[in-house]
Structure 1
Amino acid sequence: MKDPVTDFEYPAEWVAACRSPALLPDVRRGLAVLTSSGTVLRRGFTTGTTAAAACKAAVLSLAEDEEITGVGITLPCGIAVRIPVDAYRGTASCWKDAGDYPSDVTAGLEFVATAAPSISGSVQFVPGEGIGSFARNTHRHRQGTPAISEPALDCIRRSIAEGVEEADLPGVTVILTVPRGAEVAQKTLNPKIGVHGGISVLGTTGLVEPWDDHLMEGVLDRIARAPGGVVLTTGRLGLRYSRLLFPEREAVLVGSKLAEALRVVDGDAVICGLPGLILKFMNPDVLDGTGCATVEELSATPEWDDVASREIAAFQERYPRVRVVLVSRDGKVIGESP
């Protein structure tokens, strides 16, 4: 049995040990993960998925006389899901489902979309109250740009377009708001990374992994017994590039749990991925004195090469058997162990 999100092939003994066989169909669909102990942990849905569901439901409700309670969404990872909503006559609500991820501060957050037919026949999406925006210019974002990631924005726009087609509308304008977005954003990293006024709408796959506070029992087991060494990575793009750069090794997504992962590594290992979490793990104070709000911003400055080389060298003194490879979002190696 294979996880369609990560392509990990579950060992037969894990499947045989499953404590909840009725949930194995969700594991096969990618909506849950199976650990080595047989525990099934449910994946949640990202803010991007929640936003897309609210927007599509609002559009569909323009053509329905009865309340809509669920909509079909195709996630950025390609999996089709049905999301519960509450929609009627152009207004829809969808509540963020965090799955079994216990530390999700956006869990239960309401997303509200309002749709109105467009006389001009155009299709417009308008981010509104509760969605954060960038407080200053960076090399990737302009000041005032809504804090919505490209995969999430693509999912939202595609879902709106599907709703327009299904409802047979000439065009529509959809306004998305998050009523408690500004309040909840204060519990996130947004104030530190220069996003103000609300939450970020994110989601590379459309799904939230359930690992952070579960000690990653299945992941740690995979790391400990990985043949031929292991590549540890922190996110989806890092996982993709790790597989391309190190096809002979097993690449394992550990998120922010690099310290726990390194404790169970047997032999040599590689840490590979985008520099943000990795450099902050190696040195939590790496941004001090740089004038940059994020590691990604630092990576676009002339000081980057010196900073990256210095931090990697210091890290290798502590972990001489761990190689570090930092990559940009387009897969270019921008820092590595000598």
Structure 2
Amino acid sequence: MRDPVTDFEYPEAWVAACRSPDLLPDVERGLAVLTASGSVLRRGFTTGTTAAAACKAAVLSLALDTVNEVEVTLPCGITVSLPVDAYRGEASCRKDSGDYPSDVTAGLEFTATAVSSLSDGVQFVPGAGIGSFARNTHRHRLGTPAISDPALDCIKRSIGEAVEQAGLSGVTVILTAPRGAEVAQKTLNPRIGVQGGISILGTTGLVEPWDDHMTEGVLDRIARTNAVVLTTGRLGLRYSRLLFPDREAILVGSKLEEALRVADGDTVICGLPGLIMKFMNPNVLEGTGCATVEELSTTSLWDEVARRELAAFRDRYPRVRVVIVDRSGRIIGESP
């Protein structure tokens, strides 16, 4: 059995030990993960997926009046069904975080209003409760909505599908998060320069149940692997497989400390700079004037800071090699 999201082949012993065999179809579809102990943990849906469902439902309800469920094709390619509440152009969808216990956005409601127009085309408008960038950065301009590219593509694709299904020539969709500004204060948004609301994110469209999955499944997998690459996210996983094809790449999110504790043998950490640099030194941004590690990586300070932190980390973990890449896969930092 293979996980369609991570491409991880589950050992036969894990499948045989499954305590909830009726949930194995969800594992096969990518909606859940199977752990070494036999438990099945549900993946949740990102803010991007939830927002896309609300927008699609609002458009469909212009033609169908009442809509209770919509299908959304996620950035990872999986099509899922989400419950919604939609009536005559007004829709809402609440964020399901699955079995991830630390998601502060769990249950957050996204609402969408759709109005048909005579002119062709789709207009998508982020409204109240959706955050925006408070200053210019190398990737975002002041006032730009805090919506990641994969999430925005998912939202626009979902709206387009609904427009076609409803037989409309054009539509305007306004997305809001009534408690977005309040919930955003519990996230990293205030520290990374996003103001006024929540970010709309989702590289795969799914939320991983990392807290439990790391304890039961991934740690066991790391302990059994002699030559492992630990990575922190989806892009890191992709580039780790390209850069180290002879190693097993394992996604551990922010749990690098736990992963290194059980890693045996030659170990590599590979991924984008944010989580890795913060793991090596939580105070790495002090005195730099940068709000994020990614921003730091684009300044003239990066080379000096990266060399210093990588050398200090190598002193603490002499058997661990660190390779830091940017979003294009270019190596921007490497252990001495």
Report the TM-score range of the alignment, normalised by the length of the smaller protein.
over 0.9
* CA distance in 1 between partners of 2:201 and 2:280 (Å): 25
Partner of 1:301: 299
Counterpart check, 1:154 vs 2:153 = yes
Contact 1:111 1:178 in 2 (8 A): yes
Deviating beyond 3 angstroms after TM superposition, the runs of 4 or more aligned structure 1 residues are none
Partner of 1:334: 332
* CA distance in 2 between partners of 1:284 and 1:71 (Å): 42
1:250 corresponds to which letter in structure 2? E
Partner of 1:113: 112
* 1:6 counterpart SS class: coil
Shift of 1:213: 4.8
Partner of 1:263: 261
Superposed, which structure 2 residues align to 1:94-109 within 5 Å? Answer: 94-109=93-108
Residue-by-residue CA offset, 1:86-133 (whole Å, 9 max, x unaligned):
001000000000000000000000000000001222210000000000
Partner of 1:220: 219
Q: Sequence identity, in percent?
A: 81
* CA distance in 2 between partners of 1:33 and 1:13 (Å): 15
Partner of 2:7: 7
* 2:254 counterpart SS class: coil
Partner of 2:72: 73
Partner of 2:188: 189
How many residues are treated as equivalent by the alignment? 336
Contact 2:35 2:213 in 1 (8 A): no
* 2:139 counterpart SS class: coil
* 2:312 counterpart SS class: helix
* 1:101 counterpart SS class: coil
Partner of 1:179: 178
* CA distance in 2 between partners of 1:311 and 1:29 (Å): 41
Partner of 1:28: 28
1:115 corresponds to which letter in structure 2? A
* CA distance in 2 between partners of 1:264 and 1:17 (Å): 22
Contact 1:71 1:82 in 2 (8 A): yes
Structure 1 gap segments, 5+ residues each: none
* 1:136 counterpart SS class: coil
Counterpart check, 1:125 vs 2:104 = no
Which residue, 233, 237, 240 being the options, matches 2:235? 237
Contact 1:327 1:334 in 2 (8 A): yes
Partner of 1:286: 284
* CA distance in 1 between partners of 2:322 and 2:121 (Å): 48
Counterpart check, 1:59 vs 2:59 = yes
* CA distance in 1 between partners of 2:277 and 2:48 (Å): 27
Shift of 1:214: 5.2
Contact 1:103 1:213 in 2 (8 A): no
Partner of 2:275: 277
2:141 corresponds to which letter in structure 1? R
Decide which moves more: 20-29 or 121-130: 121-130
Contact 1:192 1:293 in 2 (8 A): yes
* CA distance in 2 between partners of 1:260 and 1:87 (Å): 43
Residue-by-residue CA offset, 1:161-212 (whole Å, 9 max, x unaligned):
0000000000000000000000000000000000010000000000000012
Residue-by-residue CA offset, 1:55-83 (whole Å, 9 max, x unaligned):
00000000013x21000110000001111
* CA distance in 1 between partners of 2:108 and 2:75 (Å): 21
TM-score, normalised via structure 2 length = 0.99
Shift of 1:215: 4.4
Partner of 1:48: 48
* CA distance in 1 between partners of 2:311 and 2:29 (Å): 42
Contact 2:214 2:252 in 1 (8 A): no
Contact 2:45 2:207 in 1 (8 A): yes
* 2:111 counterpart SS class: strand
Contact 2:189 2:199 in 1 (8 A): yes
Shift of 1:256: 0.6
Contact 1:212 1:256 in 2 (8 A): no
Which residue, 244, 248, 251 being the options, matches 1:250? 248
Structure 2 gap segments, 5+ residues each: none
* CA distance in 1 between partners of 2:171 and 2:53 (Å): 16
* CA distance in 1 between partners of 2:221 and 2:199 (Å): 32
Partner of 2:207: 208
Which residue, 291, 309, 318 being the options, matches 1:311? 309
